[in-house]
Amino acid sequence: MTAAYVALEGGHVLEGRGRAPGTARGELVFTTAYTGYEESLTDPSYEEQVLTFSYPLIGNYGVREERFEDDRVHPRAVLAKELTDDVAEWLASEGVPAVDHLDTRDVVTDIRDGGAMKCGIAVGKDVTEDDALEQLEACKTMSEHTDIGSQVSVEEAVVHGADNDGPDVALVDCGAKGSIVDSLLARDATVHVLPYDATAADVEDVDPDVLFVSNGPGDPANYEQAIDLVQAFVEDTPVAGICLGQQIVAEALGGTTEKMTFGHRGVNQPVLDLESDQVVMTTQNHGYTVAEPGNHLEVTQINVNDETPEGLDGDEYDIITRQYHPEANPGPEDTLDFFDDVLGMVDGQHQPAVPADD
């Protein structure tokens, strides 16, 4: 059996079975999703993290490229109770270390009790605990990855759906999932994918009907260029955002964000719409949240479990953001109408949120 060690912040070292060789380090997080492992593993929001699957068997329906959200695996390493050979071989081909035969119930409990933590991974025939501990020693916090956007964004602008007849969307790519682009294309939009550090001139060249800030990894406060773009265009251009995008919009309008203890990651997060009083189930993957929404924004949806903001709408400007992933993938699909609402802002169909009573 190939040796495998997982060194946790605080000094505890776990031993498991090595399924894909290598060394790695990152923030240790978990997802409660029991399907959609291909989507999770190719989600750019997992950059610089080590992903633990709480569901005990990962890989029971194989690996199909058409389910990928990006062209590579993003977690630095993967932990599970049991990985099938298909998934283990895929991770090995991607150079991503993988460890199974772990009691992931204990790992998840540690994260819930102590929060997301730094960890080091060492997998191979001759590795030792010290190799994992060396990786742990070199590990950074997520906020210390000040230019993480460069690892997940396009390097230059890319246009999708140039022949479509719908609105032009400037999508600021902070680590966008492919299904966000697909959801906009399905509604006849032309999507101009811009780098995470795009300038105001880059956006002006597009002359978009909507400025859309994507999901992505890391601390929203480190995406200064995207924050500047929202500030520059919000008065004249409808603005939308998903996940990190919601946090960036809030930061741009005087709000604040904060690190969560262990975040929301899974496909069964309940969200309450405050206007309709309806609950929808959502896919989520984030470690930061909006603490205060700032100016011109109203909280319209909250997480049922902890009441963190899940939706923000403008009370004066055309703004719609969601903390969860309305495009779902792997599901559920309760909130796909978000994209209709976003494009509806172009036609003046957006109704500003009513400010809450003080």
Kindly report, residue by residue over 272-288, the tens digit of the pLDDT. Answer: 999 999 999 999 999 99
pLDDT band at 349 (very low <50, low <70, confident <90, very high): confident
Q: Give the pLDDT of residue 248.
A: 98
pLDDT > 90 fraction of the chain, expressed in percent and rounded: 94
Assess contact for 3 and 125: CB atoms under 8 A.
yes
Q: Which of 39, 48, 298, 327 is catalytic?
A: 327
With a cut of 80, say whether residue 250 has pLDDT above it. Answer: yes
Average pLDDT, the chain: 96
Q: DSSP readout, 277-333?
A: --EEEEEEEEEEEEEE--TTEEEEEEETTT--EEEEEESSS-EEEESSBTT-SSS--
Q: Which of 74, 145, 286, 325 is catalytic?
A: 325
CATH for the stretch 148-347: 3.40.50.880
Report the chain's terminal Cα–Cα distance, integer Å.
Answer: 62
Distance (Å, rounded) from C-alpha 296 to C-alpha 258? 19
pLDDT in tens, 221-234: 999 999 999 999 99
Q: Which of 69, 243, 296, 298 is catalytic?
A: 243
Q: Do domains 3-140 and 148-347 have the same CATH topology?
A: no
Residue 244 in marked binding region: yes
Q: Write down the H helix ranges in 162-219.
A: 178-185, 200-206
**Which run of H or E residues covers position 40?**
helix 37-41
Q: Give the pLDDT of residue 356.
A: 60
pTM for the complete prediction? Answer: 0.96
Domain extent listing, the chain = 3-140, 148-347
pLDDT in tens, 108-121: 999 999 999 999 99
Whether 243 is a known active-site residue: answer yes
Residue 288 in marked binding region: yes
Q: Give the pLDDT of residue 11.
A: 87
Among the CATH numbers 3.50.30.20, 3.30.70.1450, 3.50.50.60, 3.40.50.300, which is that of 3-140? 3.50.30.20
Radius of gyration of the chain (CA): 20
Whether 174 is a known active-site residue: answer no
Distance (Å, rounded) from C-alpha 243 to C-alpha 176? 10
Residue 285 in marked binding region: yes
pLDDT band at 197 (very low <50, low <70, confident <90, very high): very high
Whether 325 is a known active-site residue: answer yes
Residue 93 in marked binding region: no
Average pLDDT over residues 128-142: 98
Task: Count CA atoms closer than 13 A to 275's CA, side-chain side.
Answer: 12
pLDDT band at 355 (very low <50, low <70, confident <90, very high): low
